[in-house]
């Protein structure tokens, strides 16, 4: 019986799409932005409040392609995102035509971004057996794929791993939300023997 060895290595990359800035901070406090203007005040009435700034220039939102510049103190948004992965080195071991090999790791996301986050595959390098195409990795067939479970998961069943694949998404801030990533592989009697390895980078991006 022909067999193959598949080793999957997962690398984590954290992404935060915000403008570069210089901020002032101490052990307990951070001022992430300042403003040069002639005045401004916070006004309140009942359940509503309004903060204004006088004499500031330039202001407004300028967009071009995938980039955005938010000019002015009132337009600035400070947000953060954190990603942890329970295991970054996964080994599917020796594959067999009579069974499916499976391993998993848990990705945990925390962000205070008002519009939540997107977890996706940033890049993919290395070699693998044929990607699953029918929604399920099945014993006896040469197939390799990814599954994801969790409240924010976008993936149903087993899918092929591709650059830019969106894995999970939220439209609101989250705290320690988990997505379990499963990697599965199987071979057929016709699979070419040999070692397989793959590097997968994951990108967690805050939605602004």
What DSSP string describes 30-80?
EE------SB--EEEETTEEEE--BS--S-EEEEETTEEEEESGGG-----
In whole angstroms, what is the distance from residue 182 CA to residue 106 CA? 9
**What percent of the chain shows pLDDT beyond 90?**
43
The answer to whether 90 and 183 have CB atoms below 8 angstroms apart is yes
- pLDDT at residue number 6: 45
Domain boundaries, the chain: 4-17+80-206, 24-75
In whole angstroms, what is the distance from residue 93 CA to residue 191 CA? 15
Fill in the DSSP letter of residue 159: B
**What percent of the chain shows pLDDT beyond 70?**
77
Q: For residue range 45-75, what is the model confidence (pLDDT) as tens digits?
A: 888 877 777 766 667 777 887 677 777 666 6
Q: For residue range 97-150, what is the model confidence (pLDDT) as tens digits?
A: 999 999 999 999 999 888 899 999 988 888 889 999 999 999 999 999 999 999
The answer to whether 207 and 115 have CB atoms below 8 angstroms apart is yes
120 φ, ψ (degrees, to nearest 5): -145, 170
Angle at 94 between CA 93 and CA 99, to 5 degrees: 105
Cβ-in-10-Å burial (0-12, 13-18, 19+) of 49 comes to exposed
Beta-sheet pairing, 81-85 with 101-111: antiparallel
Q: Which fold has domain 4-17+80-206?
A: Immunoglobulin-like (2.60.40)
How far apart, in Å, do the first and last CA atoms of the chain sit? 53
Query: CA separation (Å) from 187 to 6, 112, 150?
Result: 10, 43, 28
- pLDDT at residue number 127: 87
In whole angstroms, what is the distance from residue 167 CA to residue 150 CA? 10
* H or E segment and range at residue 176: strand 174-186
């Amino acid at each position: 019986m022909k067999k193959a060895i598949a080793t999957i290595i997962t690398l984590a990359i954290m992404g935060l799409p915000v403008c570069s800035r210089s901020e002032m901070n101490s052990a307990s406090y951070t001022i992430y932005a300042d403003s040069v203007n002639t005045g401004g005040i916070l006004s309140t009435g009942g359940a509503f409040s309004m903060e204004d700034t006088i004499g500031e220039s330039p202001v407004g939102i300028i967009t071009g392609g995938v980039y955005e510049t938010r000019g002015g103190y009132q337009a600035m948004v400070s947000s953060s995102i954190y990603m942890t992965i329970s295991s970054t080195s996964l080994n599917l071991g020796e594959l067999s035509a009579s069974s499916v090999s499976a391993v998993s790791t848990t990705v945990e996301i925390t962000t205070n971004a008002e519009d939540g986050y997107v977890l996706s595959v940033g890049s993919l390098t290395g070699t693998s057996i044929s990607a699953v195409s029918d929604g399920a990795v099945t014993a006896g067939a040469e197939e390799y794929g990814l599954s994801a479970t969790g409240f924010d998961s976008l993936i149903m069943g087993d899918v092929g791993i591709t650059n830019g694949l969106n894995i999970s998404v939220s439209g609101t801030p989250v705290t320690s939300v988990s997505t379990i990533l499963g990697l599965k592989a199987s071979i057929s009697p016709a699979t070419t023997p040999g070692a397989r390895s793959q590097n997968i980078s994951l990108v967690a991006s805050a939605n602004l």
